[in-house]
Amino acid sequence: MTKPLAKPSTDLVARFAAIVGEKNALTKDADTASYLVEPRELYPGKTALVLRPGSTQEVSQILALANAEGIAVVPQGGNTGLVGGQIPDVSGDQIIISLSRMNRIREIDESGNTMTVDAGVVLETIHREAEKIGRIFPLTLGAQGSCEIGGNLSTNAGGTAVLAYGNTRELILGLEVVLPDGRVWEGLRKLRKDNTGYDLKQLFIGAEGTLGIVTAAVLKLFPAPKAQEVAFAGLTDPEGALKLFNMARARAGSMLTGFELMPRIGIEFTLKHLDGARDPLMAPHPWYVLMELSSGSDAEAARALMELIFEDAFEHGLVDDAALAESVAHRESFWRLRHGMSEVQKAEGGSIKHDVSVPVARIPEFLERATKAIEEAIPGCRPCPFGHMGDGNIHYNVSQPVDGDKAAFLARWDEANNIVHAIVDELGGSISAEHGIGIQKRHLLPKVKSDVELDMMRALKATFDPNGIMNPGKML
């Protein structure tokens, strides 16, 4: 870093405000408060200024000024991130740039299967617009009603459709990015193939706003499936789930679009705390799998395939019971159990989170070892590991002991992390599968990255943001 970062003076605040107009420059606590509280309320932040630019040009002017004056900026989308990446530090010196006003759908190319959107468009809006022309944008996650595509991009969001369609990174054809010095990179290409030099968009996808601000993107659209079938299965153990996954994938190929693993305790939390939730199967089972098949052609084929898979699964003793959704409402109720699983844990007191991945084949071993180790360390704690088994991605969450002290439990966060992450590391896994690093895991990065890799990351940061104004204190 060439010079220390500065505090935004009253004069400077006025100059920033002049770029976006008074009413889009928030300085009062009452106005800025909602930008400072994130979903888990783990990362307190302060700011003297929230700017709400309305155009790429305004973002460009803001960054040029911030860069010249050494003011740290924190880009923010829908403020749904779970690792604090969108929250300024407590100094009050970092200013927030909210992209929420930039919410225009710039173009929908039906024949080319692309949609070009501003960074501030809410994910669910994109879903709706795609549906209108018989397409889908497959990125699907719990926060889709409020998260914004710019944030999804900057965190390389995962979700439940990764198995079939890939992470956000794989769903993007082009980007428009404002660089830290205010220059605009016009990379809004709509091409499926383009080998003309380094693929620069990859730098900004998943960079958590540390290299520039994504202001627009070209998204890939896909044909809407003609039919979907969803089944909920009860199993004895994750080993059976792994076998079921491999068998289903071999039979269904790319028609297998969802494979989510859940433990009984997660279902119980959901039954207790989620309005209208019903036990999916007659009797309780130690583990559950939600399996989704999608067909681009006809409904009968998907149904027949699902039945075939479960005949085979029963025959081989992989599952103990299963229910196939009999209606759209039934299907949605199954998915609701899965999507509600994160939220309901709040009602059970403190929850220590791990968003980890391991090679798919190592999931049973990971679950067994992690649970043994964590229960030994914190007697009475209640592991509730669930997630995207098909991607090797488990949210290894641990709820506090019943009637235990929440604060005392949460004080053991780092200790629990160390236990779980050590096992993840041994299995060649990742300590952040989809939520990113943000503030939360920044101190862990040196433990899991080699010096060479950290050097490469720092070199990239220094090259693109030499003054270090972009989201300092996050990730690196």
Q: Is 408 exposed, middle or buried (0-12, 13-18, 19+ CB in 10 A)?
A: exposed
Q: Report the distance separating Cα 228 and Cα 209, nearest Å.
A: 36
Tokens read off for 6? 């500065």
| Residue among 133 and 347 whose Cβ is closer to a second copy | 133
Binding residues for a second copy restricted to 425-454, rule: CB under 8 A: 428-437, 441, 445, 448-450, 452-453
CB of 94 to a second copy, least distance (A): 20
CB of 333 to a second copy, least distance (A): 25
| Residue among 110 and 376 whose Cβ is closer to a second copy | 110
Q: Does 251 bind a second copy (CB under 8 A)?
A: yes
Q: Among residues 367, 364, 397, which one has the least CA distance to residue 383?
A: 397
Q: Does 166 bind a second copy (CB under 8 A)?
A: yes
Which three-class secondary structure state does DSSP give residue 223?
A: strand
> Which of 2, 11, 253, 275 forms a contact with a second copy (CB under 8 A)?
253
Q: Report the distance separating Cα 380 and Cα 377, nearest Å.
A: 9
End-to-end CA distance of the chain: 13
Q: Are strands 95-98 and 73-76 parallel, antiparallel or unpaired?
A: parallel
Query: Mask of contacts with a second copy, 58-97, x by CB under 8 A?
Result: ----------------------------------------
Which three-class secondary structure state does DSSP give residue 116?
A: strand
Q: Does 297 bind a second copy (CB under 8 A)?
A: yes
Q: 315-352 in b/e burial notation, b at 16+ Cβ within 10 A?
A: eeebbbbbbbbeeeeebebbbbbbbbbbebbeebbbbb
Q: Does 189 bind a second copy (CB under 8 A)?
A: yes
CB of 454 to a second copy, least distance (A): 9
Q: Give the amino acid at 375.
A: E
Binding residues for a second copy restricted to 255-274, rule: CB under 8 A: 255-256
Q: What are the two backbone dihedrals, phi and then psi, of residue 419, each rounded to the nearest 5 degrees?
A: -65, -50
Torsion sign over Cα 470, 468, 354, 167:
positive
CB of 385 to a second copy, least distance (A): 15
CB of 404 to a second copy, least distance (A): 31
Q: Does 185 bind a second copy (CB under 8 A)?
A: yes
Q: 365-378 in b/e burial notation, b at 16+ Cβ within 10 A?
A: bbbebbbeebeeeb
Binding residues for a second copy restricted to 4-63, rule: CB under 8 A: none
Q: Are strands 321-324 and 355-357 parallel, antiparallel or unpaired?
A: unpaired
> Which of 192, 272, 278, 443 forms a contact with a second copy (CB under 8 A)?
192
**What size, in residues, is the chain?**
476
| Residue among 11 and 198 whose Cβ is closer to a second copy | 198
Q: Does 222 bind a second copy (CB under 8 A)?
A: yes
| Residue among 47 and 160 whose Cβ is closer to a second copy | 160
Query: Mask of contacts with a second copy, 349-378, x by CB under 8 A?
Result: --------xxxxxx----------------
Stretch of 22-30, 230-238, 241-249, 258-266 lying at the interface with a second copy (CB under 8 A)? 241-249
Binding residues for a second copy restricted to 373-402, rule: CB under 8 A: 388, 390-393
Q: Does 250 bind a second copy (CB under 8 A)?
A: yes
Q: Does 303 bind a second copy (CB under 8 A)?
A: no
Q: Does 241 bind a second copy (CB under 8 A)?
A: no
> Which of 67, 100, 113, 400 forms a contact with a second copy (CB under 8 A)?
113
| Residue among 12 and 177 whose Cβ is closer to a second copy | 177
CB of 261 to a second copy, least distance (A): 14
Q: Report the distance separating Cα 7 and Cα 11, nearest Å.
A: 11
CB of 207 to a second copy, least distance (A): 6
Q: What are the two backbone dihedrals, phi and then psi, of residue 202, each rounded to the nearest 5 degrees?
A: -60, -30
> Which of 31, 131, 194, 405 forms a contact with a second copy (CB under 8 A)?
194
> Which of 39, 54, 142, 206 forms a contact with a second copy (CB under 8 A)?
206
CB of 304 to a second copy, least distance (A): 9
Q: Does 106 bind a second copy (CB under 8 A)?
A: no
Contacts 24+ apart (CB under 8 A), 402-411: 404/349, 404/380, 406/349, 406/350, 407/350, 409/349, 409/350, 409/352, 409/378, 409/381, 410/350, 410/352
Q: What are the two backbone dihedrals, phi and then psi, of residue 386, each rounded to the nearest 5 degrees?
A: -150, 170
